[in-house]
Structure 1
C-alpha cells in the first residue's frame, strides 16, 4: 500500500484503517465491476484490514448485493468468450484460480452456445492461418494449433478446425 493510501485510511501511525473509509472504498471497488470473493478479500488486505473483519465485511457485501459470485461468473464468462475469444478450458482455469466452485464454473461454462463456440473457434483459426507467414503447412498447422490451445479451446475441436482449413487451402 502506498503512503498516500495509508494517509487516506488514517494508518500512518500503524493504527487500524478507518472503518467508514474502508467501507466506502470497498463498495466503490465492488460497484465498479463484478468481483469474486477472492478479489474482494485481496483488496481488503491491501487496505490493511485483517482476519475476522475481512470475513464480516465480505459477508455484509454479499448480503447487500455488492458481491455475487454467480453474477461474477456470468459476466466473466461472457466477457472472456465474447470479447477476448477465450475457449472453455482457459475460462475454467481462470475461474478456478479465483476460487469459484466447480458447480458455478460448470453453470457459467454452459452459458456458451455450442454453435457460437465453434463459429468463434473457426473464425480465430481462419484469421490466424491467414496471418501466419509460414510456408511449410506442417509448421503452420503447429503454430495455429498452439495459438488456439493457448486461447483455451479443446484439442479435439482445434484438430477438427485445422483439418477443415487444410482441406480448404
Structure 2
C-alpha cells in the first residue's frame, strides 16, 4: 500500500508530545529552535512547547552547549570545516554567543591546521589550473569557502611549498 502524499499532521497531547520529543532529543543533540519547531508541528501552542523545553533542559535531554560542542567536533573532524563556517552555521541555528564560544573551544589547533593542510593537498591534486598564481588563488578561494581564516590559509600555502607548479614560471 502507498502512503498518502498529503498526509495530515498528527496532533498530540502535551504528554504524548513529551514522550515523542524526548526520544527525538535522545537520538541526537538538538537546539531549542529545532525542538520548538517539532513541538509546534505536533499542534502544541507556544506555552506548552516552552514548558516541555524547560522540562527537557532540566532533565538534561536538551542542552545547547552540548549541542554546540558536538556540532563543532563533528564538523571539524568529519567535514573538515573551518571556524568561520562553523560559527556562521551555529549563529544560523539560533545559538547564543555563550554556547558558540563553548563549542568553538572544542577545536584542537593541531588537528585544525592538519585538516587545512590535508584539504590543501587534496585540492592541489585535483586542481587543473597550471598558472601558479591562478592556481594558488583557486585553492585559497576553496579553503575560504570551507571556513578557514585567511592568515592560516596563507601560512599553509607558504608551508606547502608555494604549491607545486609555482616553480614552472
Scaled to the shorter chain, the TM-score interval is: 0.7 to 0.9
Equivalent runs, 1:53-64 vs 2, <5 Å: 53-64=48-59
Where 2:94 maps in the other structure, the secondary structure is coil
Q: 2: CA distance between counterparts of 1:96 and 1:5? A: 32
Matched residue pairs, number?
160
Tell me which residue corresponds to 1:88.
Answer: 83
Q: CA RMSD in A?
A: 1.7
Tell me which residue corresponds to 1:160.
Answer: 155
What do residues 86-144 of structure 1 show as CA deviations (whole Å, max 9, x unaligned)?
A: 11111111111122221221122122121221111111111111111111122221221
Tell me which residue corresponds to 2:167.
Answer: none
| Structure with a larger share of its residues in helix | 1
Which consecutive unaligned segments of at least 5 residues does structure 1 have?
10-16
The 4+ residue runs of structure 1 with deviation greater than 3 A are: 2-5
Tell me which residue corresponds to 2:132.
Answer: 137
TM-score by length of 1: 0.86
Residue pair 2:124, 2:163 contacting (<8 A) in 1 also: no
TM-score by length of 2: 0.86
Structure 1 residue 166: Cα displacement: 4.3
